[in-house]
């Protein structure tokens, strides 16, 4: 069965851990936005997690040079203090199971001992040595994930040797992998799969040699032979990338049958890499097929993910199977947008701007065929003039403030029409600004267009 390759950008962006700690997108936008469509003060996305769930580490500490002490001594002292703060924070947020002191003991044991041979015995020995804390191999994997994220020193004015924390994380992950711990296998192989598109994953994957990755791939294949749905899905993604779409299709279908659709907050460590869902993997594989039977399978997969799993990516794709601007299309787009899907926000922005009201209780619904939608829009506009337009601008703004440059351009155009030149220039400047050095520009054509508009508007302002 030959299947057409499809763009997976939405699928990859949607493969993010979902937690109940996130707040409503409208609330987060209103809390930060000074006006209905003013540009953000920074192009980066602000965390929406409550302050009580954010790390207390404000960033790497500065290390002052001390001529009386060697760089190795300064490094060891700094790392010890930094680990203490980090592990205490991780324990308070329930991101590690053991007390901070026990975590420090495990790290110091590895640091003090001669280089250990990576083996299952190492991981199992750590579990046994800390049995009083009732930890298991999964807890060692979680310790490895959090150890990797310990902030490093700001070595301005001092020449410190590299921190050993990432190598310690590597040792713990590989040992747990050899002990067949699913979380360690998934974390390493997720990093390998995402390395080409996600810089943080590339840095993790670079810790492992080709031979170690091949060994972990074999462990992933063995894990996929069980009922572990996430392993089947990830193995299917590798098969699809390697051109074997038939094998990918079979693995996705098997994973879809065995996957527990309901999201479990403890299933993936919050500091770990995202895992992929079988319904989105299968759906995006089949959605562009010309075969009606395969298209129906794609719709079934997205329906399961959306209606049973409340997955915003699944809702967004499920909307594409409905008549555009129908009641169901609008319902599914709202579900996706309300959960943070930027393209869904963008679609809703256009929907409401297209029916821009011509006064109180009046909307242009000539292009709409769903009477239920028409009645709802009439009810919406009878209370307040221009309410569809305002909703459209709100959706564009929320998407823009999450980094969606097409929405920024829409807001810039509206601002220019309404003679708010400074606001328009602010949005265009944000679009034109390059992304961080470790990221590729997602909208290069749009960024080039924004630079041209920005130059034109600045010239007009100076004239």
Beta pairing partners, 154: 62
Question: Which three-class secondary structure state does DSSP give residue 248?
Answer: helix
Q: What is the pLDDT of residue 341?
A: 96
DSSP string, 79-101: HHHHHHHHHHHHHHTTSSSS-HH
pLDDT at residue number 60: 52
Q: How far apart are CA 260 and CA 401, in angstroms?
A: 33
Task: Note the pLDDT tens digit of each residue in 316-343.
Answer: 999 999 988 788 999 999 999 999 999 9
CB neighbours of residue 434 within 10 Å: 10
pLDDT for the residue 159? 74
The count of other CB atoms within 10 Å of the CB of residue 253 is: 15
Between the two ends of the chain, the Cα-to-Cα distance in Å is 62
Question: Model confidence over 104-147: pLDDT tens digits?
Answer: 999 988 887 776 678 999 999 999 999 999 999 999 999 999 99
pLDDT of residue 26: 43
pLDDT at 463: 67
361 close to 377: Cβ distance less than 8 angstroms: no
- Say what the pLDDT of residue 160 is: 81
268 contact partners, CB below 8 Å, separation of at least 6 = 17, 274, 275
Give the bridge partners for 62, in sequence order: 154
Which residues of the chain have a pLDDT value below 50?
1-58, 155-156, 360
Note the pLDDT of residue 8: 45
Question: Which residues, 6+ apart, have CB-to-CB distance to 117 below 8 Å?
Answer: none
């Amino acid at each position: 069965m030959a299947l057409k390759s499809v763009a997976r950008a939405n699928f990859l962006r949607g493969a993010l851990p979902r937690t109940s700690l996130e707040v409503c997108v409208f609330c987060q936008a209103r809390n930060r936005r000074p006006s209905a469509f003013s540009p953000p003060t920074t192009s980066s996305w602000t965390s929406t997690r409550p302050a009580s769930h954010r790390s207390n580490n404000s960033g790497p500490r500065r290390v002052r040079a001390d001529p009386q002490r060697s760089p190795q001594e300064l490094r060891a002292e700094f790392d010890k203090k930094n680990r203490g703060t980090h592990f205490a924070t991780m324990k308070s947020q329930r991101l590690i199971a053991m007390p901070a002191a026990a975590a420090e003991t495990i790290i110091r044991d590895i640091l003090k001992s001669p280089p250990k041979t990576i083996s299952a015995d190492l991981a199992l020995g750590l579990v046994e040595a800390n049995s009083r804390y009732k930890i298991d191999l999964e807890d060692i994997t979680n310790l490895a994930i959090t150890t990797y994220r310990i902030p490093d020193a700001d070595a301005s004015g001092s020449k410190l040797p590299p921190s050993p924390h990432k190598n310690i994380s590597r040792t713990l992950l590989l040992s747990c992998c050899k002990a067949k711990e699913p979380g360690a296998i998934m974390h390493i192989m997720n990093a390998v799969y995402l390395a080409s598109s996600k810089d943080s994953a590339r840095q993790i994957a670079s810790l492992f040699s080709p031979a170690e990755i091949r060994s972990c791939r074999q462990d992933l294949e063995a894990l996929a032979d069980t009922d572990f749905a996430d392993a089947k899905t990830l193995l299917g993604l590798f098969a699809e990338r390697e051109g074997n779409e038939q094998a990918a299709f079979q693995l996705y279908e098997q994973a879809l049958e065995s996957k527990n659709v309901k999201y479990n907050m403890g299933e993936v460590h919050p500091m770990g890499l995202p895992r992929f869902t079988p319904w989105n993997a299968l759906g995006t594989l089949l959605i562009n097929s010309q075969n009606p039977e395969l298209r129906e399978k794609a719709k079934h997969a997205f329906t399961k993910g959306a209606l049973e799993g409340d997955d915003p990516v699944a809702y967004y794709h499920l909307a594409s199977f409905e008549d555009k601007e129908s009641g169901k299309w609008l319902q599914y787009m709202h579900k996706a947008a309300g959960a943070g899907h930027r393209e869904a926000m963008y679609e809703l922005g256009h929907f409401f701007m297209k029916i821009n009201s011509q006064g109180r209780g009046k909307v242009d619904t000539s292009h709409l065929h769903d009477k239920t939608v028409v009645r709802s829009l009439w009810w919406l506009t009878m209370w307040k003039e221009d309410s569809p337009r305002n909703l459209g601008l709100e959706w564009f703004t929320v998407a823009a403030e999450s980094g969606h440059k097409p929405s920024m351009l829409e807001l810039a155009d509206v601002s220019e029409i309404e003679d708010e030149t400074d606001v328009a220039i602010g949005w265009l400047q944000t679009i034109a600004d390059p992304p961080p050095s470790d990221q590729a520009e997602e909208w290069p054509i749009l960024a080039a267009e924004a630079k041209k508009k920005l130059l034109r508007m600045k010239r007009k302002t100076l004239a």
